């Protein structure tokens, strides 16, 4: 009995490997190894500063992966991901400092606010063909940034909201919270992207008319993808507010939106795991380049050029292909 089931399992494993899912297996193995390494990080390194870099990297990885599920898969470019990050961050920060609600309530409330904003931006524009959604996200991010300044009695204007309570006083607890969040978002989005539903998103990018002619409500798919993109970004924003203990208008800035896009491109667009890898790569590289201050975005962009020329599919995707080839 035991032998039989073992035999059957071996056969099944052989089947899985031989039917072309080897690529997927390699992705899962490497992804698992990466998550395990991240899980063991606080055990290996006790340095607070080092951990704080990885805490922020976790959040950027989730932001990039969430940008990818909409823009990387359906091809509808979102130039204002900061709308969602910023709304999540400000809502969580204000609920904390004004109403003294715990993060466990404030951060999900931020995601709820993000849901409303996403529907406002997406429903009128995603049904249209052409650049309307891209323009709307660009404009909306600008509007939100201005609102954050204009509503200074509430938001603190340029100064922002101070004294947001930390997630935890322990760096490793904070790290594990953000790691758990990042892991859930990345695995959840990866699974979604691999599902039949995600397959339709990829088809929409190539030929939306053929999808409609096949009886698929493409607007519903795109709005669904937008919500899956916006809500994790809002949660990441809320966590960011508590991690930094401060929120300023920069969370709505074009620089943040562009950073998220560059992370996705450098890691590998349309793969989820690539976007997450790009988030880690650029956060750590950015920390190393801290001395350059204002010029960081310039350096990011400069880093993008060789990637586009030599590894247009992205660094993480290229690395995976290379490892598989050996």
Can you tell me which of 44, 104, 213, 305 binds another protein, judged by CB under 8 A?
213
Contact flag: residue 203 with another protein (CB under 8 A): yes
Contact flag: residue 202 with another protein (CB under 8 A): yes
Closer residue to another protein (CB): 76 or 242:
76
Give Cα separations from 179 to 53, 139, 245, 314 (angstroms): 12, 32, 18, 23
Contact flag: residue 264 with another protein (CB under 8 A): no
Contact flag: residue 20 with another protein (CB under 8 A): yes
Can you tell me which of 2, 215, 293, 325 binds another protein, judged by CB under 8 A?
215
Name the minimum Å distance from CB 194 to another protein: 12
Name the minimum Å distance from CB 99 to another protein: 43
Task: State which H helix or E strand residue 132 sits in.
Answer: helix 132-150
Name the minimum Å distance from CB 157 to another protein: 45
Give Cα separations from 288 to 163, 208, 244, 307 (angstroms): 27, 42, 19, 19
Can you tell me which of 13, 206, 308, 321 binds another protein, judged by CB under 8 A?
206
Name the minimum Å distance from CB 212 to another protein: 4
Can you tell me which of 216, 250, 297, 304 binds another protein, judged by CB under 8 A?
216
Closer residue to another protein (CB): 197 or 292:
197
Contact flag: residue 129 with another protein (CB under 8 A): no
Can you tell me which of 74, 87, 178, 218 binds another protein, judged by CB under 8 A?
218
Closer residue to another protein (CB): 188 or 205:
205
Q: How many residues bind another protein (CB under 8 A)?
A: 20
Name the minimum Å distance from CB 21 to another protein: 11
Helix intervals (H) in 166-272 = 171-194, 196-206, 208-213, 218-244, 254-267
Contacts of 235 (CB under 8 A, 6+ apart): 62, 88, 107, 108, 110, 111, 181, 185
Contact flag: residue 210 with another protein (CB under 8 A): yes
Contact flag: residue 199 with another protein (CB under 8 A): yes
DSSP secondary structure code for residue 168 in this structure: -
The per-residue b/e assignment along 101-137, b for 16 or more CB within 10 angstroms, e otherwise, is eebeebbbbbbebbbebbeebbeebbeeeeeebbebb
232 near 271, Cβ under 8 Å? no
Contact flag: residue 200 with another protein (CB under 8 A): yes
Name the minimum Å distance from CB 65 to another protein: 19
Q: What is the DSSP string of 28-84?
A: HHHHHHHHHHHHHHHHH---HHHHHHHHHHHHHHHHHHHHIIIIIHH----S-THHH
The per-residue b/e assignment along 189-208, b for 16 or more CB within 10 angstroms, e otherwise, is bbebbeeeebebbebbeeeb
Can you tell me which of 7, 146, 173, 214 binds another protein, judged by CB under 8 A?
214
Q: Which residues bind another protein (CB under 8 A)?
A: 20, 196-197, 199-200, 202-203, 205-207, 209-218
């Amino acid at each position: 009995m035991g032998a039989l089931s073992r035999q059957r399992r071996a056969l099944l494993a052989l089947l899985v490997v031989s039917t072309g899912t080897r690529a997927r297996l390699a992705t899962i193995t490497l992804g698992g190894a990466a998550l395990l390494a991240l899980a063991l990080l606080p055990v290996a390194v006790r340095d607070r500063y080092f951990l704080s870099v990885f805490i922020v990297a976790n959040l950027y990885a989730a932001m990039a992966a969430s940008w990818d599920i909409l823009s990387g898969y359906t091809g509808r470019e979102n130039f204002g991901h900061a709308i969602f990050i910023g709304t999540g961050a400000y809502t969580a920060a204000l609920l904390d400092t004004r109403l003294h609600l715990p993060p466990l309530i404030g951060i999900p409330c931020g995601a709820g606010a993000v849901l409303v904003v996403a529907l406002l931006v997406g429903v009128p524009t995603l049904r249209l063909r052409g650049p309307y959604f891209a323009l709307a996200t660009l404009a909306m991010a600008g509007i939100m940034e201005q609102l954050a300044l204009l509503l200074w009695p509430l938001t603190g204007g340029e100064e922002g909201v101070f004294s947001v309570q930390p997630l935890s006083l322990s760096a490793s607890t904070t790290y594990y919270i953000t790691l758990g969040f990042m892991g859930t978002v990345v695995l959840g989005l990866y699974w979604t992207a691999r599902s039949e539903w995600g397959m339709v998103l990829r088809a929409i990018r190539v030929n939306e008319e053929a999808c409609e002619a096949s009886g698929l409500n493409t607007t519903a798919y795109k709005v669904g993808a937008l919500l899956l993109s916006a809500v994790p970004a809002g949660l990441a924003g809320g966590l960011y507010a508590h991690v930094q203990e401060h929120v300023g208008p920069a969370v709505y800035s074009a620089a943040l939106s562009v950073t998220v896009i560059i992370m996705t491109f450098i890691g590998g667009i349309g793969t989820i795991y690539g976007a997450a890898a790009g988030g880690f790569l650029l956060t750590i590289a950015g920390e190393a380049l801290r001395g350059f201050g204002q010029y960081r975005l310039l350096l990011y962009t400069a880093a993008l050029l060789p990637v586009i020329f030599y590894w247009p599919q992205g660094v993480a995707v290229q690395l995976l292909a290379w490892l598989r080839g050996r």
